[in-house]
Amino acid sequence: MELNSIQATELLAKLHKKSQNQENVLSAGVGTAITAKTCEVSDADFLVVYNSGSYRRSNTGGFADLLSYGDANLQVLAAGKEVLPIVPDVPVLAGVCGTDPYKVMEQHLQEVKKQGFIGVQNYPTVGIIDGTFRRTLESTGMGYDLEVKMIRKAHEQGLLTVPYVFDSDQAQKMVHAGADIIVVHFGLKSQLAIGTQQAQIRQTCLMELRKIIKVVHKIKPQTLILCHGGTVLNEQDLVYLKEKTPELAGFFTTFADESLAHQKDIEKELEMLH
């Protein structure tokens, strides 16, 4: 068995033990070495390297990494050269753009393994996109199913697979593809609501989370499930979901600004989710 696969198996066993002991599993998507180090100090269980580093260092819009400003898969490999040596004791996964038409995915996943990543997540993901543009992507062969195929290939290569899902249908596909951990992403909106409106949104997310958990655990009961609030839910909302859903193993988070000035804010956010 390859070292990556051994590390992935060991991490999964550790996370299952934490979940059984009612301890929150905590992970984060990072684009810079300094944020990775902050997450290590804050006891994150594992990290996922995104293509966002150069954008978030300069406080560019949080989702610049979804646009055609660069080769996302190559950007992750470049960021990995910075991140992996800085946090040698933290398991690190790679964000992989599964819809990339210029990658022979089996070969790219081999590069991911060779560099020292122990697993993958489907990011950038079309799951964040909705409306006419999303429907067009799906109808022209550039949709979410390509991300499912990528996860399946990664699983076959012995990589840990931690995909984002946005509904129960996607969750079902990802579990059948071999997903080890499911991260439920609650999507985007321009700003958090307030008062009664935010409470209603939180309840809607709770219902969707329970639906996804039911579907996933019917297929593979041992699958760990984390949630990511996106820009819809804040840290307090996520803690509420955990209180109402004991099957939820923990949280996955990302940071809109990874500049040096915001590292203390990142520490505080991680502390709230432990």
pLDDT in tens, 8-32: 999 999 999 999 999 999 999 999 9
Question: How many whole angstroms separate alpha carbon 264 and alpha carbon 213?
Answer: 33
28: which strand partners?
A: 47, 253
Kindly give, in sequence order, each residue whose CB lies less than 8 Å from that of residue 29, ignoring residues fewer than 6 positions away: 47, 48, 49, 50, 52, 95, 121, 123, 252, 253, 254, 255
CA distance 185 to 164: 6
- Does residue 124 have a cis peptide bond before it, meaning omega lies within 30 degrees of 0? yes
Residues 6+ apart with CB under 8 A from 71: 100, 102
Map tokens 């991911």 to a residue.
112
158 contacts 4 by C-beta, under 8 angstroms: yes
pLDDT tops 90 at residue 67: no
Beta-carbon contacts of 137 under 8 Å, excluding residues fewer than 6 positions away, are 99, 126, 129, 143
CATH classification for the domain delimited by 3-273, as one of 3.20.20.70, 1.10.3720.10, 2.60.40.10, 3.30.565.10:
3.20.20.70
What is the residue-averaged pLDDT of the chain?
94
Q: Where are the alpha helices (DSSP H) in 116-244?
A: 131-139, 144-156, 168-176, 195-219, 235-244
Higher pLDDT, residue 196 or 48: 48
Residue 99: CB atoms within 10 Å? 21
* Amino acid symbol at 6: I
- Residue in the structure block whose two tokens are 């209603």: 200
What are the boundaries of each domain within the chain? 3-273
Least confident of 10-14, 46-50, 62-66, 230-234: 62-66
- Which pTM does this prediction carry? 0.96
Residue 191: per-residue pLDDT: 55
Confidence of residue 263 (pLDDT cuts 50, 70, 90): very high
